[in-house]
Every structure is written in structure tokens, then in C-alpha cells.
Structure 1
Amino acid sequence: MSSSQVAADQPSTSQAADMYYGAYNELPKEILKHKERLGLQEPAQHPHVFIQSFLKKSVPDRRRVDQQMIKLLSSKAVVMDVVKTKKNSKTVSQSKKKRVLNAKERRKLKIYDIKPEHQRYVMYEPLYFLWQDYIKDYLDIEKGFNKVTMETKLQKADYHGSIITVTKSKCPSYVGISGIVVQETKNVWKIITKENKLKTIPKANTIFCVEIEGIVVTLYGNHLRRKSSERSVKKFKSKNTIDL
């Protein structure tokens, strides 16, 4: 199909103007009689001529003028509405969810390993002084020692920075080891001794002692076989202690 045939099929600018002009009607004669009083003026040129010149100035492309006029005059009313689309909650939550390293990956990266240059007793002495202030406030020692509340509080206390000593153990090599607690897991305590050595002491079947304001407190490792964060919220029941 040639360009001349396409142009012949489409309405010209004058035809589009006629369609647009046909949408308007003249004012009734009764109103035109009082046009001077109403402030109405005669148009400078015929509306048909004005519309054609306005369209030519506004839109330089005549074909586009014809197409836009046809769509404007022949189309039906369209109701514009905003459609809300629901996002897939699973994909959003999965994309926002942060990935956490598992235990095997943490061991491989050696995140919790203490480097040899950091295994010095002097480096952790300030931590011991902070722990002393913490345990005084936690046990509320100024009001005196209450054995009933003190027993449950000691099971929930955090011992990072405390100086503990192994008094009894089923493994004789652990007895007598003393140092500052630098790490705690569910089953072991890692301490730094005054000889600048890192020792890993199991909690199971081991009895420790810690000094608080001149009073030596005995801690049974079997009762503390939880992480410090878990112990702080756990409700402990009174248990009979079996001597080793």
C-alpha cells in the first residue's frame, strides 16, 4: 500500500476540525440579544478557521493531528483506576532475609579463635575489673547476701571477665587451673592463665570457685551447661548437687 493511499484513508486536518467544531452549538438568540449587557464579543474570526490554525501551530505533524483528533472525538469515556498488585510475600521475605553462617563455616573461618598474640593475661585484666562492678550491681551486694536469691542469680550471671579456679574435676589435670574467662560456650569455658596460656575447661563433671567481695562461691559446672544468653532467661529449678 502506497503512502498516497494511506493519506487518502485518513481524514484531513479540515475534516478533523469539522468534527471538532461540530461538538459546539451556537448560543440561543435570546442570549445574543443581550450580548452587550452580558459582555459578550463577536469572535475575531470564524471558529472553524481558528481551530484549523490552532491545530497547525500546536502540532506540526498533520498526520498526528488527524489521528489524535479521531481518537479524541470517537473514543468512549475511560475510567482510570489504580490496580494494586500484591507482591509475593515469600520472595520479598527471602530477598530481605540475611544469610547467617552455620557452625561449620564459622569453624572454618576461625572467627572465635583467639590469636596467640592476644593470649596475654594483662590484656584481660581491665575486663576483670568491669566484671567486679557488674556482679556487685547484679547481686545487689550493698543490701547484703541473700542466699535464696543469690543461688538463682549466680546461675543466670555472665562470667566473662571473672577469675575462676577449678577445685574438683574427674580429670585431675584440670584441678588447680585458674584464670580469666574470655569465652564461654554451652559446654566449655576458655580462660587465660597468668602464664599467658589459653585453657579450655569443660563444665561437665567439674566444680569451680569464684571470689566475690571476699566470699568464695562454689559453681557446679553441670548446672551451668548452657550459654550465658540462654541462662539469663531460663527458670531454674532447685536440684540436688552430687559431689564428684
Structure 2
Amino acid sequence: MEHATNDLKEYITDQVIPHQRCNVNINPDHITMLEGTKIKKQHSRKRRAHKSGTLSRREYAELGLNTLPTKQMKYEEALPLHNLWKGYVREHLELREGAEVPQVHDPRYDEFSRQLVKLDLHGAKLKVIQSKCRTLENLSGICIMDTKNVLKLLGRDHRLRTIPKSECVFGLRVGNMDFTIFGQHLNIRPAERSVKKIKSYVEPFM
């Protein structure tokens, strides 16, 4: 501490004009020395990626959670799901009793078409009205599972059938309105389809 004080006195004295340095009088009690500390380097720590508590799609598939029994399900067991879907679709499309499909020149037509494309089909009664595979035509049932590429329909004969979307045209009835759905426009997961921005010129429903 004393050595540092002497160095400071010499430095201050050197700043004074030489012929006046003899008049410099420094009181040690008026000197306050601040001792600095070395700044510790902060080592950046990489955040460990915490594994999500939800299952990945691969784990989901490996556990067989995306499969359904083909023979144990009964058509009557799917009817409550269909009844729920009927209430959902009326609320989603804002349909009232006796409502009709807006015509092309109607201002509501574009928005109505977009909402149709975003429909969740779980619980809907669908019928294959046209297909590249003739054996699939006229098959119908309640949609139990809607994936990116296929629909799984439970028929009145209690059989669960897997129908490829891209190769089929489906018929859908809502109240007194009949719609034709082109499956190639539904090749997207339902959760993604509900938030996907739909281009106005795409008309998968007729």
C-alpha cells in the first residue's frame, strides 16, 4: 500500500511545472487507493436439451398407438362419435336449420369453402363414389381415423377399412347438403389442415 502511495505522489508531482514542484505538499490521509479485482471469465454453459415429455411420432408408431383393431370394433359403438361430429360441423360451418350451400357468386362462398377444407373428418359418414381402384367404390362408413394419406372407415358390417385419400373421391352429407370431396386435397394431417392457409382458387368440395 505504501509503495503504491509513493508511486502516486511521484506521478502527481511530475504533472506540476518543474520550478513549482517544491511547493507540492501531498497529504497521505487524503489519498484513497482502490484495489481492483480480476474479472472472472464467465464460461458459457451449453444448455442441455431436455427431452420432451411427449412421445415422438416414431415412438408413437412403435408402441402401436396409431393402429386400430380391425374386427373388435362395432358400428354401433361409432354412432355416438358421429352424433358429436354432426354438432361440431354445424357449429364450425355456422349452419342453421334449412341452410343451403352458398352459390359461387355469393360473397360467403370463399369463406365457406375454406372452412369446409379445414373440417375434422373424425366421426363423419363418408362414401367412396369414385376411385382408381374399382373395389373401393361404394364403400362407406364412419371415419374413425384420419391420417396424412389414408382414412379408416368403419362400415355397417363392423369391418374397418383403410382408404387411400389421393386415389378416391368421397361423398359427404351434412343435413340436406351433399358434398363431393377430392381426396388429393386432403393429403395433410388434420391438425395441420385446420391451420393451413387455403388458397382461394382451390375448390376440393363441390
Same fold, judged at TM 0.5 (above): yes
Q: How does 1:203-214 map to 2 (within 5 A)?
A: 203-214=165-176
The structure in which a higher percent of residues are helix is 1
Q: Is 1:178 the equivalent of 2:140?
A: yes
Residue 121 of structure 1 corresponds to 75
User: How high is the TM-score relative to the length of structure 1?
Assistant: 0.57
Hey, what's the Cα distance between the residues in 2 that align with 1:137 and 1:157? 11
Residue 146 of structure 1 corresponds to 102
**Structure 2, gaps ≥5 residues long:** 1-39, 104-108
Match of residue 163, structure 1, among 125, 128, 151 = 125
Give the aligned residue type for 1:239. V
Q: How many residue pairs were aligned?
A: 155
**Structure 1, gaps ≥5 residues long:** 1-82
Give the aligned residue type for 2:125. I
Indicate the larger mover: 146-155 or 204-213. 146-155
Match of residue 232, structure 1, among 190, 194, 199 = 194
Residue 150 of structure 2 corresponds to 188
Deviation at 1:129, TM superposition (A): 0.3
Deviation at 1:185, TM superposition (A): 0.7
Structure 2 SS opposite 1:153: helix
Q: Which protein, 1 or 2, shows the higher relative CO under an 8 Å CA cutoff with sep ≥ 6?
A: 2
Deviation at 1:89, TM superposition (A): 4.9
Would the alpha carbon gap of residues 97 and 88 (structure 1) be closer, same or farther in structure 2, given more than 3 Å must change? farther
Deviation at 1:235, TM superposition (A): 1.4
Root mean square deviation of aligned Cα: 2.4
Give the aligned residue type for 1:107. A
Percent of matched pairs sharing the same residue: 29
Q: Deviations over 1:63-102 (max 9, x none)?
A: xxxxxxxxxxxxxxxxxxxx9x8883512xx2x3326544
User: How high is the TM-score relative to the length of structure 2?
Assistant: 0.67
Residue 27 of structure 1 corresponds to none
